[in-house]
Amino acid sequence: MDTLKALSSQMVFEADGEPRVTASAPDCFSPKEKDQAFVHPAQLPNGQKIMLLKTLLSSACERDCFYCPFRAGRDFRRATFKPDEFAGLFNKLNQSGAAEGVFLSSGIAGGGIRTMDKLLDTADILRKKYKYRGYLHLKVMPGSEKEQVFRAMQLADRVSVNLEAPNTERLAKLAPHKIFFEELLRPLKWIEEIRQTVPAYKFWNNRWPSTATQFVAGGSDESDLELLTVTSWLNKNVRLKRAYFSAFHPIRDTPLENKPAVDPMREHRLYQASFLLRDYGFDLEDLPFTNFNNLPLNADPKQAWAQMYLANTPLEINKAGRHELIRIPGIGLKGADAILNARKSNKLRDLSALKKLGIIAERAAPYVLLDGRKAALQLALF
């Protein structure tokens, strides 16, 4: 258990491809264990909330990525699990109700192929020996072979390959010995190729896993346009489920320790823009990039678009199509569907009608007409 705590606590440094977590450890932990919490509340791709164990199989790594706390030669205590050792420990946590899902990554030791084999062995023991059927996210190691990617897809609910940077030039500033196309981008292409050519019903969960990647925002002096261009390409070409962005922060005793930390708001704006590209029908040309090809930190990108295109020509709520409705600030995917359903029986004439549908009416008001009239907004007292 001490080894698990050590490895899991180190995960806070990693760009790990999972939602950030904020809540405390479960009540079955002692106060001391809660201080060293390694199981966290997380939300899965389907919206389900679980207690997720996020950990490394090993924090020993032979790569020398400039930003990474696990880089070779950095002076800190390393720890390693054997596959059967980790699987048995997680099974106990799962049986006790302390951990419902697991995200498993690793430092690279002995090459990407050998390290990936150990991750696969761990997953295989969990699925076969312990009959674990819960959520499993596996990180695909740089340099993995296609058959290993295929096996990971048979075992996991999500697989991820961290691109870290948007292209070869930028990656060289973060991880000079990683190869962008061969080691990182190609496995993402393999995943989609396997989805397209092999029936998923043969395997334990009857569906192929979703795919994610992670970028270190600001680590290689890249622009937001560069990051979102490759994100858009991945959405369209390999059906990427989620792009994660981790605002760069310097780690002591690394080559980038004196590089300034990136404003966390940049990370937030990148997430907002990536959702617009993935779910809301926006193109890169719709996003409000500055002259330096970055998103403004002081403006929600959807709001900025609406201010440019809808402020003077508001949309009629009772006539707009779904693709138009979801571009209005305050109206999400479910909200647009609720509007379409509600107006089958009655016209929507005021903001209170929108509020009843779960719309953030105050945000939408400047950009809509309700039965031909601008929405009446009550001025705030302060």
CB within 8 A of 21, min separation 6: which ones?
40, 41, 42, 52, 54
Residue closest to 49 by CA, chosen among 33, 26, 68, 69: 26
Copy the structure tokens of residue 241.
């489920």
pLDDT of residue 199: 87
**CB distance 147 to 193 below 8 Å:** no
CA distance 288 to 302: 9
pLDDT of residue 298: 96
pLDDT of residue 164: 97
Low-confidence ranges of the chain (pLDDT < 70): 1-37, 201-204, 376-382
pLDDT of residue 4: 58
Residue closest to 26 by CA, chosen among 80, 76, 99: 99
pTM across the whole model: 0.88
pLDDT of residue 200: 79
Q: What is the CA radius of gyration of the chain?
A: 23
CB within 8 A of 267, min separation 6: which ones?
217, 245, 246, 247
- Please state the length of the chain: 382
- Domain made up of 2-213: CATH architecture: Alpha-Beta Barrel (3.20)
